[in-house]
Amino acid sequence: MLSKTRESLRDSKRRSLVETVIDAGIGFVLYLPINFGILPLFAEQISSHDFVGFLQLSAIFTTIALVRKYTIRRWFENLKHIKF
Protein backbone atom coordinates (compact mmCIF):
# COMPACT_ATOMS: atom_id res chain seq x y z
CA MET A 1 0.00 0.00 0.00
CA LEU A 2 2.79 2.43 0.94
CA SER A 3 4.75 1.73 -2.24
CA LYS A 4 1.60 2.34 -4.31
CA THR A 5 1.15 5.69 -2.54
CA ARG A 6 4.77 6.65 -3.24
CA GLU A 7 4.39 5.62 -6.89
CA SER A 8 1.18 7.60 -7.17
CA LEU A 9 2.88 10.63 -5.61
CA ARG A 10 5.83 10.34 -8.00
CA ASP A 11 3.42 10.02 -10.94
CA SER A 12 1.51 13.06 -9.64
CA LYS A 13 4.71 15.10 -9.46
CA ARG A 14 5.68 14.03 -12.96
CA ARG A 15 2.22 14.95 -14.29
CA SER A 16 2.47 18.34 -12.59
CA LEU A 17 5.86 18.95 -14.19
CA VAL A 18 4.60 17.92 -17.63
CA GLU A 19 1.50 20.10 -17.23
CA THR A 20 3.60 23.09 -16.17
CA VAL A 21 6.02 22.72 -19.08
CA ILE A 22 3.18 22.33 -21.59
CA ASP A 23 1.33 25.31 -20.09
CA ALA A 24 4.42 27.52 -20.29
CA GLY A 25 5.13 26.40 -23.86
CA ILE A 26 1.56 27.05 -24.98
CA GLY A 27 1.64 30.42 -23.24
CA PHE A 28 4.85 31.38 -25.03
CA VAL A 29 3.51 30.37 -28.45
CA LEU A 30 0.11 31.94 -27.76
CA TYR A 31 1.44 35.30 -26.60
CA LEU A 32 3.77 35.88 -29.56
CA PRO A 33 0.97 36.72 -32.02
CA ILE A 34 -1.14 38.30 -29.27
CA ASN A 35 1.71 40.72 -28.49
CA PHE A 36 2.00 41.67 -32.16
CA GLY A 37 -1.74 42.27 -32.32
CA ILE A 38 -2.46 43.99 -29.02
CA LEU A 39 0.64 45.96 -28.08
CA PRO A 40 0.52 48.28 -31.12
CA LEU A 41 -3.03 49.22 -30.13
CA PHE A 42 -1.68 50.42 -26.78
CA ALA A 43 1.54 52.06 -28.04
CA GLU A 44 0.35 55.57 -27.21
CA GLN A 45 -0.80 54.62 -23.71
CA ILE A 46 2.48 52.80 -23.07
CA SER A 47 4.65 55.68 -24.26
CA SER A 48 2.66 58.23 -22.26
CA HIS A 49 2.58 55.99 -19.15
CA ASP A 50 -1.22 56.10 -19.08
CA PHE A 51 -2.35 54.18 -16.01
CA VAL A 52 -5.76 53.28 -17.44
CA GLY A 53 -4.10 51.90 -20.57
CA PHE A 54 -1.86 49.73 -18.41
CA LEU A 55 -4.91 48.46 -16.52
CA GLN A 56 -6.69 47.62 -19.77
CA LEU A 57 -3.65 45.83 -21.16
CA SER A 58 -3.19 43.93 -17.90
CA ALA A 59 -6.87 42.91 -17.89
CA ILE A 60 -6.58 41.55 -21.44
CA PHE A 61 -3.47 39.50 -20.67
CA THR A 62 -4.90 38.27 -17.35
CA THR A 63 -8.14 37.14 -18.99
CA ILE A 64 -6.24 35.26 -21.69
CA ALA A 65 -4.00 33.64 -19.07
CA LEU A 66 -6.97 32.54 -16.93
CA VAL A 67 -8.74 30.97 -19.90
CA ARG A 68 -5.52 29.24 -20.97
CA LYS A 69 -4.77 27.91 -17.48
CA TYR A 70 -8.35 26.71 -16.94
CA THR A 71 -8.45 24.95 -20.32
CA ILE A 72 -5.13 23.19 -19.81
CA ARG A 73 -6.05 22.19 -16.24
CA ARG A 74 -9.34 20.66 -17.43
CA TRP A 75 -7.53 18.90 -20.28
CA PHE A 76 -5.06 17.29 -17.86
CA GLU A 77 -7.84 16.31 -15.47
CA ASN A 78 -9.64 14.55 -18.33
CA LEU A 79 -6.40 12.79 -19.33
CA LYS A 80 -6.09 11.44 -15.79
CA HIS A 81 -9.17 9.27 -16.35
CA ILE A 82 -8.02 7.83 -19.69
CA LYS A 83 -6.22 4.49 -19.52
CA PHE A 84 -3.33 4.14 -21.98
pTM of the prediction? 0.77
Q: What's the pLDDT at 33?
A: 95
List CB contacts of 64: < 8 A, sequence separation 6 or more. 30, 31, 34
List CB contacts of 34: < 8 A, sequence separation 6 or more. 61, 64
Interval 32-71: pLDDT, tens: 999 999 999 999 999 999 999 999 999 999 999 999 999 9
Helix 2-38, helix 51-80: angle, nearest 10: 140
Question: Residue 11: pLDDT band by 50, 70, 90 thresholds?
Answer: confident
Q: What's the pLDDT at 82?
A: 76
Q: What's the pLDDT at 14?
A: 87
User: How many helices, marked H, and strands, marked E, lie in the chain?
Assistant: 3, 0
Phi-psi region of 75 (alpha: psi -120 to 50; beta: other; left: phi over 0): alpha
Give the mean pLDDT of the chain.
Answer: 88
State the Cα–Cα distance between residues 9 and 16, nearest whole angstrom. Answer: 10
